[in-house]
A and B are shown apart, each in its own frame.
Chain A
Amino acid sequence: AQKVTQAQTEISVVEKEDVTLDCVYETRDTTYYLFWYKQPPSGELVFLIRRNSFDEQNEISGRYSWNFQKSTSSFNFTITASQVVDSAVYFCALRVWNSGYALNFGKGTSLLVTP
């Protein structure tokens, strides 16, 4: 069975602080994809990143960076110099290659960035 755990339910930071959102996953499969999505108050899900299990390179996109470590089954997401517009719920998700294309989502982390 596959499982995604986001232990942080809510995080509150002041603007310009760095913040890391944790994601731990469980799967016995060797081929899988990991995702992060952002859900602002308007409700839509915005795709942020996809990582496959064979690519452990960390990625940086502007103020966003992701740290994928297979040894600890973690795929953490860091926002540098946070801004108020970063306030949203962030979901980590897992898709296993041989289990179709549907996603297993974590419970989400609600991030509040205050001025």
Chain B
Amino acid sequence: SAVISQKPSRDICQRGTSLTIQCQVDSQVTMMFWYRQQPGQSLTLIATANQGSEATYESGFVIDKFPISRPNLTFSTLTVSNMSPEDSSIYLCSVVGAENTEAFFGQGTRLTVV
């Protein structure tokens, strides 16, 4: 299994500001994803982070609001831009394992926007 480290683990931010979340994996992985989990809700896919090209966003999510970088096969960042209280959620990084079957998750970033 892959070991995934996410930073920060939690943060409280002022509305209108931006926060960048980092995801570091202990091995090279092809597929990396970013999910959002709003309070009391299930996980929703934000985007697929593609190495060397733009991320692929799901319906309802746009690059201006959630810019993503993937400079190499072990690292990605998600920025939550111009935050509002509605962005308060847990954001999770996920990777697909070497056998392209299981998906593993970081411990999540618990974001509160005030």
Contacts and interface: CB of A to CB of B under 8 A. Distances in A.
Interface string A89-109: 001000100001111011110
A35 interface: yes
B42 A101 contact: no
Interface residues on A, range: 20 to 34
Interface of B: 1, 31, 33, 41-45, 48, 90, 92, 94, 96, 100-108, 110
Interface of A: 33, 35, 37, 42-45, 47, 50, 52, 91, 95, 100-103, 105-108
Nearest to A106: B42
A59 B100 CA distance: 21
A72 B48 CA distance: 31
B45 A45 contact: no
